[in-house]
Structure 1
Amino acid sequence: MPDHTTSTKTIACLAFADVMSLDVVGPLQVFASANTELERQGRERAYELLVIADAAGPVPTSGGFRLYADLDWRDLDLDETDTVLIAGGDGVNRLRQRPDILEWLARAEGSVGRLGSVCSGALILAEAGLLDGRMATTHWSRCDEMRAHFPKVNVIEDRLHSYDASGLDGDPHIFTSAGVTAGIDLALALVEVDHGRAIALAVARRLVMFLKRPGGQAQFSAYLTPAIGATAQLAGLLEWIPGQLDGDLSLEALARRAGMSARTLSRVFTRDLGMTPARYVERVRIEAARALLQDDAMTVTRVARLCGFGHPETLRRAFQRHLSVSPQEYADRFGRRPMAVPV
Structure 2
Amino acid sequence: MAVRHIVFAVAPDLVLLDACGPLEAFWRAELTIAASAAAGRPAGSGDSGRSAGSAGTSAQPVAYRTTVASIDGGALQTFPGLPIVTERLDTLDDQPIDTLIIPGVPIDAHCTLQAELVAWIRRNAPRARRVCSVCTGAFYLAAAGLLDGRRATTHWGDASQLARRFPKVQVDADPIFIRDAGRGPSESVVWTSAGVTAGIDLALALIEEDVGHAVAMQAARRLVVFMKRPGGQSQFSAALAAQASADGPFEALHGWMAAHLCDDLSVERLAERTQMSPRTFARRYVDEVGRTPAKTVSALRLEAASRALAESRRPLKRIALDCGFGSEQNLRRAFLRRFGVLPLDYRERFMSAAAPHGGAVSAVAETN
Same fold? TM cut 0.5: yes
What is the match of residue 366 of structure 2? none
Pairing partner for 1:282 from 285, 290, 298: 298
Deviation at 1:136, TM superposition (A): 0.8
Pairing partner for 1:107 from 120, 123, 129: 123
What is the match of residue 29 of structure 1? 24
What is the match of residue 12 of structure 2? 17
Specify the SS of the correspondent of 1:141.
coil
2:40 aligned with 1:54, yes or no? no
2:254 aligned with 1:238, yes or no? yes
Once the two structures are superposed, residues 74-120 of structure 1 have per-residue CA deviations (whole angstroms, 9 ceiling, x without a partner) of 22135422111100021798985333222211111222222111111
Specify the SS of the correspondent of 2:177.
coil
User: 1:217-236, aligned counterparts within 5 Å?
Assistant: 217-225=233-241, 227-228=244-245, 231-232=248-249, 234-236=250-252
Aligned 8 A contact 1:137 1:176 in 2:
yes
2:85 aligned with 1:68, yes or no? yes
What is the match of residue 44 of structure 1? 61
- Bigger shift: 198-207 or 96-105? 96-105
Uncovered stretches (5+) of structure 1, i.e. residues with no partner: none
- Bigger shift: 47-56 or 306-315? 47-56
Amino acid of the residue matched to residue 146 of structure 1?
A: L
Once the two structures are superposed, residues 162-186 of structure 1 have per-residue CA deviations (whole angstroms, 9 ceiling, x without a partner) of 2267989xx8622211121111111
Specify the SS of the correspondent of 2:179.
coil
What is the match of residue 136 of structure 1? 152
What is the match of residue 151 of structure 1? 167
Amino acid of the residue matched to residue 302 of structure 2?
A: I
Deviation at 1:154, TM superposition (A): 1.5
2:247 aligned with 1:252, yes or no? no
2:321 aligned with 1:321, yes or no? no
Deviation at 1:68, TM superposition (A): 2.1
Amino acid of the residue matched to residue 49 of structure 1?
A: T
Distance 1:339 1:212, change over 3 A: closer
Specify the SS of the correspondent of 2:321.
helix
- Determine the C-alpha separation between the residues in 1 that align with 2:146 and 2:188: 13
Once the two structures are superposed, residues 107-137 of structure 1 have per-residue CA deviations (whole angstroms, 9 ceiling, x without a partner) of 1122222211111100110011110011211
Aligned 8 A contact 2:134 2:154 in 1:
yes
Distance 1:270 1:166, change over 3 A: closer
Distance 1:220 1:231, change over 3 A: closer
Distance 1:164 1:130, change over 3 A: closer
- Determine the C-alpha separation between the residues in 1 that align with 2:227 and 2:181: 16
Amino acid of the residue matched to residue 45 of structure 1?
A: V
Deviation at 1:303, TM superposition (A): 0.8
User: 1:258-297, aligned counterparts within 5 Å?
Assistant: 258-297=274-313
Specify the SS of the correspondent of 1:162.
strand
Aligned 8 A contact 1:96 1:124 in 2:
no
Distance 1:211 1:338, change over 3 A: closer
What is the match of residue 204 of structure 1? 220
Pairing partner for 1:183 from 187, 199, 211: 199
Q: Which runs of 4+ in 1 moved over 4 A?
A: 91-96, 164-168
Specify the SS of the correspondent of 1:247.
coil
Distance 1:286 1:189, change over 3 A: same
Aligned 8 A contact 2:9 2:100 in 1:
yes
- Determine the C-alpha separation between the residues in 1 that align with 2:20 and 2:197: 10
Distance 1:155 1:134, change over 3 A: same
Distance 1:31 1:286, change over 3 A: same
RMSD between superposed Cα atoms in Å: 2.6
Specify the SS of the correspondent of 1:85.
strand
What is the match of residue 56 of structure 2? none
RCO higher in structure (CA 8 A, sep ≥6): 2
Once the two structures are superposed, residues 256-308 of structure 1 have per-residue CA deviations (whole angstroms, 9 ceiling, x without a partner) of 11111111111111111112222211211122222222223312211110111
Distance 1:93 1:193, change over 3 A: farther
Specify the SS of the correspondent of 1:11.
strand
Aligned 8 A contact 1:147 1:153 in 2:
yes
Amino acid of the residue matched to residue 172 of structure 2?
A: I
Aligned 8 A contact 1:79 1:112 in 2:
no
Q: TM-score, normalised by structure 2?
A: 0.83
Once the two structures are superposed, residues 132-165 of structure 1 have per-residue CA deviations (whole angstroms, 9 ceiling, x without a partner) of 0112111111111112222211212221222267
- Bigger shift: 93-102 or 325-334? 93-102
- Determine the C-alpha separation between the residues in 1 that align with 2:14 and 2:65: 21
Larger proportion of helix: 1
**Paired positions, count:** 332
What percent of counterpart residues are identical?
40
Aligned 8 A contact 2:175 2:194 in 1:
yes
Once the two structures are superposed, residues 221-262 of structure 1 have per-residue CA deviations (whole angstroms, 9 ceiling, x without a partner) of 222116518643x34322321221111212221121111111
Amino acid of the residue matched to residue 210 of structure 1?
A: F
